[in-house]
Structure 1
Amino acid sequence: MKLTGEQLRTFEEEGYLFLPECFSRTAAAYLLEQAQKIYGLDRKEVWRESSGVARTAFAAHRYNEGFRRLGAHPRLIEPIEQILGEQVYMHQYKVNAKAAFDGAVWQWHQDYGTWQRDDAMPEPRAMNIAVFLEDVTAVNGPLMFIPRSHKSGVLQAGHDLETTSYPLWTLDRETVSRLADEGGVVAPLGPAGSVLLFHGNLVHASPPNISPYNRTIVYLSLCAVSNHIRQFKREEWIAHRDFDPIIPLSDDCLDALLAEEGYRQPT
Structure 2
Amino acid sequence: MLLTYKEIEQYRRDGFVLVEDVFSAAEIGTMVADIEGGGRTAASAMSVDDESGKKAKLAYWEELTDDIWSDASTSPRVVNNVRMLLGEEVSFFHGKVMMKEARTGGAWEWHQDYGYWYDQGFLFPHMISVFAAIDPATKLNGCLRVLKGSHKLGRLTHLQVGGQTATDPARIAAAEKLFETVYCEMKPGAALFFDCNLLHCSASNDSDYHRRSFIMCYSAWGNPQLAKDGKPVLREPCPVAGMGRKTSL
Within 5 Å, which residues of 2 pair with 1:3-18? 3-18=3-18
CA distance in 1, matches of 2:93, 2:219: 6
Match of 1:72 in 2: 74
| Paired residue type of 1:223 | S
Of 176, 188, 194, the residue aligned with 1:192 is: 188
Shift in alpha-carbon separation, 1:63–1:81, aligned structure 2, 3 A? closer
1:248 equivalent to 2:249? Answer no
1:124 equivalent to 2:120? Answer no
Measured against aligned partners, the alpha-carbon deviations of 1:137-156 in whole angstroms (never above 9, x if no partner) come to 12111000000100001112
TM-score normalized with structure 2 length = 0.88
Instruction: Report the alpha carbon displacement of residue 49 of structure 1 after superposing the two structures with TM.
Output: 5.0
Instruction: Report the alpha carbon displacement of residue 62 of structure 1 after superposing the two structures with TM.
Output: 4.1
CA distance in 2, matches of 1:175, 1:38: 40
Match of 1:186, SS state, is strand
Match of 1:226, SS state, is coil
Q: Is the 8 A contact 2:63 2:94 kept in 1?
A: no
Shift in alpha-carbon separation, 1:83–1:41, aligned structure 2, 3 A? closer
| Paired residue type of 2:79 | I
1:30 equivalent to 2:25? Answer no
Match of 2:117, SS state, is helix
Q: Is the 8 A contact 1:19 1:195 kept in 2?
A: yes
Of 207, 210, 227, the residue aligned with 1:231 is: 227
Match of 1:238 in 2: none
Of 88, 98, 101, the residue aligned with 1:99 is: 101
Instruction: Report the alpha carbon displacement of residue 250 of structure 1 after superposing the two structures with TM.
Output: 3.7
Within 5 Å, which residues of 2 pair with 1:50-65? 55-59=57-61, 62=64, 65=67
Q: Is the 8 A contact 2:35 2:42 kept in 1?
A: no
CA distance in 1, matches of 2:16, 2:182: 11
Shift in alpha-carbon separation, 1:6–1:247, aligned structure 2, 3 A? same
Instruction: Report the alpha carbon displacement of residue 54 of structure 1 after superposing the two structures with TM.
Output: 6.7
Match of 1:187, SS state, is strand
Within 5 Å, which residues of 2 pair with 1:108-147? 108-116=110-118, 118-147=119-148
Shift in alpha-carbon separation, 1:39–1:177, aligned structure 2, 3 A? farther
TM-score normalized with structure 1 length = 0.82
After superposing the two structures, state which structure 1 stretch, 199-208 or 82-91, moved more: 82-91
| Paired residue type of 1:23 | F
Q: Is the 8 A contact 2:130 2:216 kept in 1?
A: yes
Tell me the matched-pair count: 242
Q: Is the 8 A contact 1:60 1:68 kept in 2?
A: no
| Paired residue type of 1:156 | T
1:211 equivalent to 2:207? Answer yes
Shift in alpha-carbon separation, 1:56–1:63, aligned structure 2, 3 A? farther
Larger strand fraction of residues? 2
Match of 1:95, SS state, is strand
1:171 equivalent to 2:171? Answer no
Shift in alpha-carbon separation, 1:227–1:38, aligned structure 2, 3 A? farther
Shift in alpha-carbon separation, 1:138–1:211, aligned structure 2, 3 A? same
Q: Could you tell me the percent identity over the aligned residues?
A: 23
5+ long unaligned stretches in structure 1 = 234-240, 259-267
Q: Is the 8 A contact 1:38 1:57 kept in 2?
A: no
| Paired residue type of 2:214 | V
Q: Is the 8 A contact 1:103 1:210 kept in 2?
A: yes
CA distance in 1, matches of 2:11, 2:42: 39
CA distance in 1, matches of 2:76, 2:157: 35
CA distance in 1, matches of 2:63, 2:33: 15
CA distance in 1, matches of 2:79, 2:197: 19
Instruction: Report the alpha carbon displacement of residue 18 of structure 1 after superposing the two structures with TM.
Output: 0.4
After superposing the two structures, state which structure 1 stretch, 34-43 or 189-198, moved more: 34-43
CA distance in 1, matches of 2:19, 2:28: 14
Match of 2:45 in 1: 46
CA distance in 2, matches of 1:41, 1:5: 36
